[in-house]
Every structure is written in structure tokens, then in C-alpha cells.
Amino acid sequence: MTPYGLTTEQRTEPLGIGERQPRLSWKSRSDRRGAAQTAYRITAEVLGRIVWDTGRRESDETLLVPWDGPVLQSVTRYHWRVQVWDETGAAAGQAQSWFETGLLHRDDWTAVWIGRDPVALPPVDPPTDEERSFPDPAAAPLYLWRDFELAEPPIRARLYATAHGVYEPSLNGEKVGDHELAPGWTEYHHRLQYQTYDVTGQVRAGVNVLGAIVADGWWSGHVGFDPSRPARHYGTAPAYLAQLVLDFADGSRRVIATDGDWQERPGPIRSADLLMGQFVDAGHHAGPAAPVAVLDTEPGPLVAEPDEPIRVTAEVPAVAVEQRGPGRFIVDFGQNLVGRVQLRIRGAGPGHRIVLRHAEVLTDGELYLDNLRRAQATDTYVTAGGDEVFEPQFTFHGFRYAEITGYPGVPAPADVTARVLHNNTPFTGRFACSDPTVEQLHANIVWGQRGNFVAVPTDCPQRDERLGWLADAQVFAPTATRNADVSAFLARWLRDVMDGQNADGAFRDVAPVLVLDREGAPAWGDAGVIIPWLLWRTYGDRRTLERSFAAMAAWVQHIRRHNPGLLWQNRTGNSYGDWLQVDADTPRDVLATAYFARSAQIVADAAEVLGRDSTPYRTLHAAIRKTFIEAYVGADGAVEGGTQTAYLLALGFDLLPPELVDAAVGHLAADIEKRGNRLTTGFVGVSLLCPVLSEHGRSDLAYALLHQDEFPSWGYSIRHGATTIWERWDGWTEHGGFQSAAMNSFNHYSLGSIGDWLYGHVAGIDQTPGSVAYRELLLRPQPGGRLTWARAEQETARGLVACGWSLDGELLTVTVAVPPGSTAVLEIPTSDPGSVRESGAPVPAEPSARGATVRLTSGRFTFTATSY
């Protein structure tokens, strides 16, 4: 048994952590069945000296083991090693990793905030109307720099930097690091992230030049859709804070920090905005330098970046370039994505203007731009002459197509590349099956996650919005955890959710709070309760649950205080209902009260986990459930409203008397069947649709919905070329064309929440109700529909889990993998429990409602049985 996948604070070898008591994790792999860790020992070293030794601890724990060694020091690398023992008592293996602390104390910072001095900077001609991508001539980014001289290179060099805005640091003319759009977006007035870069290899003896370009970004650029506040939500102009820490062989240290000695001069980027685009005049010659202004001597609410940054994670080549007129071309990348275009320009003379516009879809062969609303999504480049490469760095767009105007000659497909941007969450899930349309659905879900996990979990990447809507995130989060390790990403965003909570306990609709400063709607505000619990169940993240609990409880108490009758009817915020449902109108009070019950139940469960008194919340949940049944459930099992979502909420949240469950399932099934196996659910209901059907014995209907390709369905959009999940079922239809351009995204992950069902029911990877972080697996593959095989893998917090099945006539084959330290309950869907074989040998199997149940330790197994 060998440990692997070592992480500190759920990251691999993180540079510049801010936690004073970081948590260490590892996984194990083994070729031997039944392997399990029984003990571990952790040692940590600094410069070869052991500073922490746990000794041998008799424990099978591998997740988030807290540091209980000496107090961590700033700017220090800790090398740690874990040794494990298995169930035989033998030392099974060891592995090592490291983490490095950032600036842990306020006194570690000597840098001051610097920015543009409008008096000292020589006048600069503002961009013309044609040049600038939005009407704000003061928006030219800062080009900041200072030089310093060294007698010898350092043995270690770290740059700690952040900005009001977004920034790109440089050292001696080379970009520092691979971060994009740093420092990201948080509730800036509560937390501003700084980044840590290892620049040891970029510092040299002699004269060095430390610099940065700083653009408006989320700080003072366009975010959201409020025309009365088009920009400058947090401040009026960008600023920069940084310090370079240099350590030398003789033990001395030198710090180069932002201060009044830095300078600014105009550069080739004439304007840059996340929504509007970027304008670059490559031939623009920098004017004379001017001193910067010191804007603030207090660093503010700085925190170390706790998760993986935004990076360029993939390149997508053009699949077609078609000319539409003199110097004008439409480029198809074959995939709706989020990022920017890298364009090679060959042999152009100086002053040649090239304009790129971006769109998700075409209409009559041209870009469809109406759904971008105010977002211009336009990048402009004026050539310097010769062979050049243009790639904007302070903007991003949602697009499959790009229009290039003014290109000299004809661009080859190899000259145009889309560069994909998102927070670099490690992708850990894989799903495959025999149906290409279902595989395309899964691919669409994954691409939607990539495109909308940019700084925060956004609603859409293309139009003038890009807000962190809470309901979108909570319905999709179970699917997101299947596809990738989003533990650190979502835990960091939850701090924004908690920071946005108002004094009365109400979460908001969006986080960070911007544009919509009001109480969160039902299912929206509840994300502040649901997601911390999900992180606990999926990753064993007790710390996030602990830090969130008071806010979770305050939200439930807020609803209770305003709704003494326990029906959630008195709302001081909005109520969106089952957003974008089709041909249905789920009563908003039914939806709201169901979520009230669900949040109360989760808070009670969380209280038990944390060793707190759960009784008040258990009592409240029981009272809400009783009130819901009395108010909304009929004697025949009918739920008020009669919609699919109404039944899904009642069934999925256990809000029905046991004797009425079958009747409610019947009503739900009848509604689906009378519509020709079509759904009516919106954002909220769709996440429950297929799981609830499968849990109540109607996987046949779940599969019918999966394979449906008539409107409304997932298959309908795929049949019409979708490569991401659409915002609306009717984003485009044969009978109606495009939906209203006022709200019509073609990359919006919410309706992709079916991904959780693909992993959990089609392939069969799940965990038992009392399990945490996949300690006890529930493997229950469910063949159905027109599939002949399906399989999935997940690199869980405890190791690799796999489950798959195939049919060959009446022979069912099931393959599973259980990681060391986990056990599994495998439910084999067979009509004859006596037919179950493992690697050809009979195995004892318990008859069950789903066929046969086998209990497994760790290892890889192949079973055969007679299918249903």
C-alpha cells in the first residue's frame, strides 16, 4: 500500500499559504484486496531539521489532519513526509510533499499601495471613440516599474503581490508566474487575496527591473448589468501592492516593496475591461516616466490565495475559417468556451488595425450578438509591423465563434487559437457510455463548469452579468464535485457568501454582493446552508462547516422569525420560483417552504456533526414538515400546484407521509408520461428530477428523459449543435427561433445538474447516507434506456473509485474499484441473486429490492450475473 496525492489545505504543494494550522491529507493505493491503513506518522522539516514528528498514531484517518506542531513561521518552506502502516502491521509505504507559508502577520508587510498620480503623469491623448472599447479614457492600465541592483543573485526570491483591479507582474521583461486575472474576485472590503510567486530563477546579479501592469478588473471595471452603475463598484481606479523578498547565501534578506520610488509610464494597452474587451496599440511608444502616487500605507484585509488560481488550461484550435468579405473572417472553434483568442499576424505593416468580436452562436452565418446585452466583447490590435502575436490578457469572453476584421491576408486555422481560462480546479471525474449523445451531454456539462468557474461560480460568461448566483451554484455543486476537486474553490467562495449575509441573518442572491443588494430568494439564499454541508459530505471538510455554522443557523432563524406560521410566505427579498420552468407554474410558497424544511434539517445534521445541540432544529424541521403536509399535500398524495417540481421537492426532501409516497410518485410519473416523456422543470426542479425518479423505482422514466431529443430536453439542444448547457430549454427552437436577447445564455451550467445522476445512478458511484468523504461507498449501477454499457471514475478524497457495467444479451458484467480505507455496498441489478459470480466464482449475495447486495473491502472486482 502506497500513499499518494499528498495535499496541504486541499492543494498540491501550495506556495504561500495563509492558514496558521494547515490540514494535511493523503490517499493510498494498493493491488491487494482488503488493504487499509491502520497507523500513520507525519514528520516535517525546515532546512533539513525536523520541526514536527507525530510519532506513530494508530489511526486510519487520511483526510485533513491538522498541523499540531510548532507555530508556523512566515516565508518558510516545510517539507513533510507521511509513513503508513497497513492492516498486517507492516510499514506499507511513505511519500513526501511540501508547503510554504506566505506573509502570516500584518507586520510582514512593508509595501504601500501605489497608483497613478494624475498631476505627475504627462498628459496622454485619450483613445478615440473607435479605439476605446468603452467610454472611459481614464481606464488605460497602469504600467508600473522600478529597478534595483544586486551584487549577487539570491538563493531564494519570492514576490508577494495583489491589486485593486487585475494585474500581471514582470521581472526583467518576463511575465512572472502563470496566474491570470489575479487576484481574482472576492468581497474586496472583507478580503483581498494576494499571490505568491517563486521568482528565484528570474532575479540576476546586476540591474533588475520589477514591474506590473494593472487594469480595472472587477475593482473598477464593468461587472453586472446595472446601467446606473456601469463600473467602479469598489473603487475609481486600479492600484498595486507588492513586495519582493530576497534571501542570500550569507543569511541576509532584502525587501523591494512598492513605495514612492516606483514610476509609471503609458504603455501599449490603451484600455482593458473584463466585459468590454481590450485595445492594444503595439506601436505606441511609451512616454516619459512619472512618479507614482502613494495611495494608502495600510495593506488592508489581505489574505493568502487559498485555492488554485485562474490559468490558461487548454488551447482549442480553429476548425474552420471562412471569409465573409474583404479582410473579414468568421472563425469556428467547434466548442463554446471561455477565454480569449491568440492571433498570429504575419507580415503586416505598422498601424494596421485588427478587430476581434466574439459570439456563442451564429445567425444567418454571422455573429449573434444581441444576447451579449451591453458587453461589447471586442478586442482591437494595432500592429507594430512584422510578425506579431496578439492575445489580450485583461479580458475574457464566452464564445465559439470569432469575427476577425482587418486581418492582412488570409489567416490559416493554425494562426487562430482559443485559449481556455478558468480556476485550475483539478478535474477528477470521468464518465463514458455507449450513447454518443449522452457522452456529449456530459461533455457539455464539463465545459459549462470550466467556463463558469472563473474567480467565482458565475451564471454565464458572455453577457454583462457574470455574477455569483447562489441557486445556480447550489443545484450544480453536486455535479461539480463529481467532475473536479472543487473543495478549495467552493470553500473560498463560501467566505464571500458568509461576508454578504446581512445583520438579520439573510444570505443574498449573489456573492460577492453586487448589483442585487437584497435578501436571497428561496433556493438562492439556502445555498449558504447546502454547500457547506455538501463539502462536509464530499470532502470531510469540517473546518468549513464549523466556520459556516453560525451563518447557516442565522439564515434558518431569519426565515423562522419572518414566518411564524412556518410556511415561507413573508419574504423581504425576491422569489424566483422554479426559475425558467416550461409549461408549468410551481407555487412559490411550496418551493420556498420545502427549502425552509431542507435548510432546517441540514442545520440540525450539522449541529450533530459539530457536537452542538441539534434539538431546536430537529424540532423546527419536524414542525415545518408537518405544516407543509397539512397545507400542501392532499389525501390522494397530490401536492399543491401539481407540477413536476412540486412533487420532486416533496419526494426529494422527504415532505410526505410514508403512506402517500407511492401515490405522489404516480402523480409525478403521470405528468411526465402525459407530456410524451418531457420535463417541465426549471433550475430548481431539474436537479432533483432524475435522482428522485431513480430513487423511487422509475429509472425507466429517468432514462426516457435522458434520451429525449424533442423540446424541451437536453437532447434537443445537442441535436441543434450545443456544446455547453444552455440557460433556457428554449434558448433556440425550430418553432420560435432565439428566445429574448434580454436573457439568453448558451453557456449556463444550472440545467446540467443531471451530471450528478450520470455518476451516481447510471454508472452507480455514491456513498451511504451516513458516510463522509466516500468512507462507505454505495455502488448501484442502473442499466437502462438504450445504453449497453456505462462507466465512471472519481478520484475521491480517499482515492480512486470506479464503477461500470455492460450488457451482453442477458449477461450483466459489473466492474468496481474501492480504494484502501473505504468499504462498499454493491447492489447488482439482477433477476437471479444466485447467478452472481466474481471472477467466475460464486459469491454469497444478499437478495435485495434492486437484485443482489454484496459487501466489499478495498480492491478491484469484476462480477457477472443474469440481468433483469
Catalytic residues: 465, 727
3-class DSSP assignment, residue 675: coil
- The count of other CB atoms within 10 Å of the CB of residue 4 is 12
CA 376/CA 272 separation, integer angstroms = 12
CA 740 to chain CA mean position, Å: 27
Q: Which three cell numbers stand for residue 833?
A: 441473486
Cα maximum dimension of the chain: 87
Is 52 in contact with 42 (CB distance < 8 Å)?
yes
Is 373 in contact with 424 (CB distance < 8 Å)?
no
Report which DSSP code applies to 292. P
**String of DSSP letters for 557-585:** HHHHHH-TTSS----SS----STT-SS--
Mapping DSSP onto H, E and C, the string for 51-87 reads: EEECCCECCCCCCCEECCCCCCCCCCEEEEEEEEEEC
CA 25/CA 66 separation, integer angstroms = 9
Name residue, grid cell 469556428. 332
CA 662/CA 519 separation, integer angstroms = 36
Is 183 in contact with 241 (CB distance < 8 Å)?
no
* Residue 748: closest CA among 583, 580, 604: 580
Is 67 in contact with 543 (CB distance < 8 Å)?
no
Is 162 in contact with 242 (CB distance < 8 Å)?
yes
Tell me the CA end-to-end span of the chain in Å, nearest whole number: 37
| Cα distances (Å, whole numbers) of residue 760 to 482, 749, 824 | 9, 18, 14
Is 352 in contact with 408 (CB distance < 8 Å)?
yes
Cross-strand bridge partners of residue 794: 429, 801
CA 439/CA 436 separation, integer angstroms = 5
- The count of other CB atoms within 10 Å of the CB of residue 555 is 25
Q: Which three cell numbers stand for residue 640?
A: 399543491
* Residue 660: closest CA among 643, 668, 591: 668
* Residue 26: closest CA among 1, 48, 45: 1
- The count of other CB atoms within 10 Å of the CB of residue 750 is 28
